[in-house]
Amino acid sequence: MDSNTRNQVLSAVRSQLPATQIDYPEIPDFPKKITALLPAFEERIIDAGGSIYKPGSLKSAQFLLNQQFPEAKVICSASSDIQGNRDIHSVINPHELADVDVGVIRARFGVAENGMVWLTQEDLVVNALGFLSQHLVILLTPTELVADMYDAYLKVSLEDTAYGCFMMGPSATADIGAVLVHGAQGARSLSVYLV
């Protein structure tokens, strides 16, 4: 027997394939139900326990951030659009982000049907920013929206990034008494700034 376990698994699968061959299924062209992307996206963000803000400019976004989190001691921004007080580019070890109160990340695009935003390793700079921050502020250009997951997966290019995440609202659990609680292990809140 081949001592390479990889080959063992592969040959076991090859020799035991089902007798009936099935054609590779084609994904049907599902009718698009959402026509106005932005209102749908905003609604889904709120459903997911997130919140939506529409600052008119980056300057007002910065003002809004300080107003929304007056108690925040550590604000770490992975986007040059917003100023924080912790430089993410000088972070060597992800543990250095354990005390971040607010993390700011610019998303590539949003998905109208479910309120997801797409973040890659390049947007996060340090992936842990998306998970260790107590609160997240996601910057999103309001025109950068797709209707659904079919369009969303046409837009991502997984080969080009080691890590990419569709994030939908703050972290959540219903493990205790089947009651929905936000802020399980990840972010306690997620605000989308449309700017």
**Where on the chain is the footprint of other proteins (CB under 8 A)?**
8-9, 12-13, 16-20, 24, 27, 44, 47-48, 92, 94-95, 98, 113-116, 121, 126-128, 130-132, 148-150, 152-154, 156, 158-159, 161-177, 179, 181, 183-187
For other proteins, give the closer residue by CB, 169 or 195: 169
- State the pairing for strand pair 145-146/189-194: unpaired
Cβ of residue 171: shortest distance to other proteins, in angstroms?
Answer: 4
Cβ of residue 32: shortest distance to other proteins, in angstroms?
Answer: 13
Q: Give the burial class of 144: count Cβ atoms within 10 A of its Cβ; 0-12 exposed, 13-18 middle, 19 or more buried.
A: middle
For other proteins, give the closer residue by CB, 61 or 111: 111
Cβ of residue 89: shortest distance to other proteins, in angstroms?
Answer: 13
For other proteins, give the closer residue by CB, 38 or 58: 38
**E strand or H helix that includes residue 138:** strand 135-140
Cβ of residue 80: shortest distance to other proteins, in angstroms?
Answer: 20
Please give the Cα distance from 104 to 136 (Å, whole number): 6
How wide is the angle at C-alpha 165 spanned by C-alphas 106 and 174, nearest 5°?
110
Backbone angles phi, psi at 140, to 5 degrees: -145, 130
Cβ of residue 99: shortest distance to other proteins, in angstroms?
Answer: 10
For other proteins, give the closer residue by CB, 62 or 114: 114
Give the residues across from 173 on adjacent strands.
181
For other proteins, give the closer residue by CB, 45 or 61: 45
Residue 193, CA atoms < 13 Å, CB-side half-sphere: 24
